[in-house]
């Protein structure tokens, strides 16, 4: 069992940018129309912005405001699927016997986002990129809790997923629309996360767990549960 506070949050999805947008969506969630929209990252220099994929832009858009004014801020970055559009472009070039772009490849690897974050923020604190499966958010929180336990005053956690290309549709069914969620975690006992291991019957949920957690947070529910394989994660908010 671990305890922590969620000091601040930020989220982004196409047409859902402000806190009011997310409060409205959490009260009445629904699918979003397919969109090529990207978040505003005008706080970055133009040269750097051009290198960022939408996945990276989403991560920066939710993380940058949460990191404002904080130095030596550890980062835990989570994405189950990563840069699927870049990966497909690389595979397509290989299939067509085209030369590969070194830049495209370097920005497709899973830790590219935290590398860019470190460079653009001149940040040298601990950073971790996770590619866990269906309970990646919980593994990210465990990593953040370990950093808090080692004395970090705060840890930034970012989870983001890109809309996969159509070629991946048969294998990736857990991203209804592109989204990013940033959480600034601090020491405290406002939230409690506990793991129970038991045989469970998996039930399909329409929304990714990160967004279900956001709904719990914004609709002031006291608890939520997430099951993956033989792991059952219980989230509880102190009343």
pLDDT digits (tens, 9 = 90+) for 175-199: 899 999 999 999 999 999 999 866 5
Q: Is residue 145 assigned to a domain?
A: yes
pLDDT above 70 for 203? no
For position 81, what pLDDT does the model report? 86
Q: Which residues contact 229 (CB under 8 A, 6 or more apart)?
A: 133, 134, 202
Residue 4, strand partner residues = 191
For position 38, what pLDDT does the model report? 93
CATH number at residue 155: 3.40.47.10
Q: How crowded is the C-beta side of 60, counted as CA atoms within 13 Å?
A: 27
pLDDT above 60 for 202? no
For position 185, what pLDDT does the model report? 98
Residue with tokens 């004395």: 151
Most confident range (mean pLDDT) of 46-55, 87-96, 118-127, 226-235 is 118-127
pLDDT above 80 for 22? yes
- pLDDT tens string 26-64: 999 999 988 889 999 999 988 888 888 999 999 999 999
Q: Is residue 216 assigned to a domain?
A: yes
Give the three-state DSSP class for 74. coil
Identify the DSSP state of 168: G
Average pLDDT score over residue span 154-171: 92
Q: Is residue 82 assigned to a domain?
A: yes
Q: Is residue 113 assigned to a domain?
A: yes
Q: Is residue 228 assigned to a domain?
A: no
pLDDT above 80 for 105? no
The tally of domains found in the chain comes to 1
Q: Is residue 154 assigned to a domain?
A: yes
pLDDT above 90 for 206? no
Residue 10: pLDDT band by 50, 70, 90 thresholds?
very high
Q: Global pTM?
A: 0.92
Q: Which residues contact 164 (CB under 8 A, 6 or more apart)?
A: 81, 84, 85, 172, 175
> Domain of 154?
2-190+211-222
Q: Is residue 204 assigned to a domain?
A: no
Min mean pLDDT across 7-21, 108-122, 134-148 is at 108-122
Average pLDDT score over residue span 227-237: 88
Residue 130, strand partner residues = 78
Q: Is residue 20 assigned to a domain?
A: yes
Cα separation, 197 vs 64, in Å, equals 36
Residue with tokens 């997430």: 226
For position 199, what pLDDT does the model report? 57
């Amino acid at each position: 069992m671990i305890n922590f506070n969620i000091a601040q949050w930020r989220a982004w999805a196409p047409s859902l940018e402000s806190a009011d947008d997310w409060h409205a969506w959490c009260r009445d969630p629904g699918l979003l129309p397919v969109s090529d929209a990207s978040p505003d990252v005008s706080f970055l220099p133009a040269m750097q912005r051009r290198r960022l994929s939408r996945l990276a832009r989403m991560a920066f858009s939710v993380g940058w405001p949460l990191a404002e004014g904080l130095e030596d801020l550890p980062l835990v970055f989570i994405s189950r699927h990563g840069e699927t559009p870049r990966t497909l472009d690389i595979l397509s070039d290989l299939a067509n016997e085209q030369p590969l772009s070194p830049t495209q490849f370097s920005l497709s690897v899973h830790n590219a986002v935290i590398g860019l974050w470190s460079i653009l923020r001149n940040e040298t604190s601990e950073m971790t990129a996770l590619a866990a499966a269906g309970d990646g958010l919980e593994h990210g929180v465990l990593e953040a809790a370990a950093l808090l336990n080692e004395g970090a005053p705060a840890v930034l956690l970012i989870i983001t997923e890109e809309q996969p290309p159509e070629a991946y549709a048969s294998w990736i069914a857990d991203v209804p629309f592109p989204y990013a969620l940033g959480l600034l975690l601090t020491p405290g006992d406002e939230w409690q996360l506990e793991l129970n291991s038991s045989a469970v019957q998996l039930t399909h949920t329409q929304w990714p767990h990160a967004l279900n957690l956001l709904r719990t947070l914004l609709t002031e529910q006291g608890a939520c549960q997430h099951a993956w394989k033989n792991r059952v994660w219980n989230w509880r908010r102190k009343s």
